[in-house]
Structure 1
Amino acid sequence: MKKHESAVVSYSSEDSLDARMALFHKMNEYQATDDEKERSLGLFLRGSLLARILATAEIYQMIIDKPGAILDIGTWRGQTAVLCENFRAIYEPLHFNRRIVCFDTFEGYKGFSEKDKATDLHKDGTYGVGGDDYVTFLEDLLCLHEQNNAMGHNNGKHKVIKGDCCETIPQFFAENAHEFVALAFFDVNSFVPTLDAFEKVWARLIPGGVVAFWQLTRNTIPAEGKVYAEEIIGKYGHSVRRTQNYPGLCYLVKE
């Protein structure tokens, strides 16, 4: 199995990467009942992953008083969407109109062009997770989280949409003419789809709404930075910031 990007493109030393794997093995070897395992996941949560979770929570808290959906564009395995469902239940358990929509091909990156920096790690097909089978898995997983949360009897506030986001996002808005956006996470990582999706989302983003980019300042995956530098600055009214705990997660706030 190919190594995940975080083990290849990393600020960690070899010793730290070895310790990461040792922690992973400890998790697999952990001797406890299922109930105890479920309540002990924090034993194996690395600091850098915890930082991502805290950063996602930081952004979520910015939209608590804002109406609109949350879009996770380039959702991959859906972790951000799951976190947002749990933050919804924590911060606004009675907000039944807060819908979470995931967009992905689930077949890996797609759409690299001369604007991009394709590599053996980042190219068409990278990060595929199994297509339709994973769509079903993620739909079930989101529903289970929702049912476990406060007011879990009121469920079905999620949608997982498979396909090219250049086509599926405008189709979603066409089928949901009433829907607007409070928060959108981007992790598409190729220039043309990122720009196209951004333009469609921005048109539906409320004032004070947030667009978050996971890779905006990373030089190993330059698409988001290029879109921002070439197509967003000076054209869209916004402020730009980075999260406190995970500097790689940057976000725009619409004026």
Structure 2
Amino acid sequence: MTESKDIKIMRFGPEGEDERRSQMIDLLQECPIPKEELLLNTGMFLTPQTLSRVLYMDHLYKKIINVQGVIMEFGCRWGQNLSLFTAMRGIYEPFNRLRTVVGFDTFSGFVEVDERDGKDMDVCSYSVTNGYESYLDQLLHFQEQESPLSHLKKYTLVKGDVCETVPQYLQEHPETIVALAYFDLDLYKPTKAVIEAIRHRIPKGAVIAFDEINDASCPGETLALLESFGINNCRIERYQYNARTSYFVYE
């Protein structure tokens, strides 16, 4: 496990990866492509690992196209998945104004760590830079403008501890049905709290996805699933091009 200089994260790459990727970042920052063509060529900088995650999100999205409800991500951090889901909505169902995308995060890292979360978890890990949620809000706004119905805001960012913000959100939005729930909280307590909060909002056919179950570095997420849904009641599948992620279709 290695850590970034300012923000604690777990990484599992081989020796030499940091230097190679640092050189790729330099190439990105020094990119000679004209500004007006840069967004059209961002795929040049996708590594196989990053591309596999993009394809995984696409895989999940296509499973819920015929399922009524919103998309919720718990632990959105920098917001890449939120941006991807917004773009995918523009591709697969551009006129579905009810397919809102909701991202929950503290934007300051883990609030607290339970003994069930293992030795690798620390308070404030996976934080973001100061004021990042404002930047993400602006980016999602521009992303939404690229598709039809751009006059309707169809995304929401919710800042705070999900143990409190998710029940509050559902109270303020009693119409909410959850078609896709993506869990990237890493920890036992918030994962379990969210599952209990939304489980009566999940219709058959909805997708429940996890970023870290069956992962020794983040045991709390698996324990929360065991105690809530129980793995004997779920057909837990993995996306063949990405080892860490898992999902099941609620039946």
- Asked if these proteins are the same fold (TM beyond 0.5), I'd say yes
Alignment map for 1:234-245 (pairs within 5 Å):
237-245=233-241
Q: 1:146 aligns with which of 139, 144, 147?
A: 144
Q: Determine the structure 2 residue equivalent to 1:197.
A: 194
Does 1:180 pair with 2:177?
Answer: yes
Alignment map for 1:74-223 (pairs within 5 Å):
74-119=75-120, 122-130=121-129, 133-148=131-146, 150-223=147-220
Q: Determine the structure 2 residue equivalent to 1:249.
A: 245
Aligned partners of 2:94 and 2:149 also within 8 Å: no
Aligned partners of 1:147 and 1:155 also within 8 Å: no
Counterpart residue identity of residue 141, structure 1: L
CA shift for structure 1 position 15: 3.4
Flag the 1:218–1:251 CA change in 2: closer, same or farther, 3 A.
same
Flag the 1:243–1:27 CA change in 2: closer, same or farther, 3 A.
same
Name the CA distance, whole Å, in 1 between partners of 2:7 and 2:246: 22
Counterpart residue identity of residue 99, structure 1: T
Name the CA distance, whole Å, in 2 between partners of 1:219 and 1:70: 27
Q: Which runs of 5+ in 2 are unaligned?
A: none
1:114-166 Cα offsets, whole Å, 9 max, x none, are 211143xx3111122246x2222222111110002x21533300111111101
Q: Percent identity?
A: 30
Name the CA distance, whole Å, in 1 between partners of 2:25 and 2:174: 45
Aligned partners of 1:104 and 1:162 also within 8 Å: yes
Counterpart residue identity of residue 11, structure 2: V
Q: Which runs of 5+ in 1 are unaligned?
A: none
How many aligned residue pairs are there?
248
Flag the 1:22–1:152 CA change in 2: closer, same or farther, 3 A.
farther
Q: Determine the structure 1 residue equivalent to 2:60.
A: 59
Flag the 1:234–1:59 CA change in 2: closer, same or farther, 3 A.
closer
CA shift for structure 1 position 230: 4.0
Aligned partners of 2:195 and 2:228 also within 8 Å: no
Name the CA distance, whole Å, in 1 between partners of 2:151 and 2:218: 39
CA shift for structure 1 position 246: 1.2
Aligned partners of 2:95 and 2:149 also within 8 Å: no
The CA RMSD measured in Å over matched residues stands at 1.9
1:74-133 Cα offsets, whole Å, 9 max, x none, are 1111111110000111111111110111111111012311211143xx3111122246x2
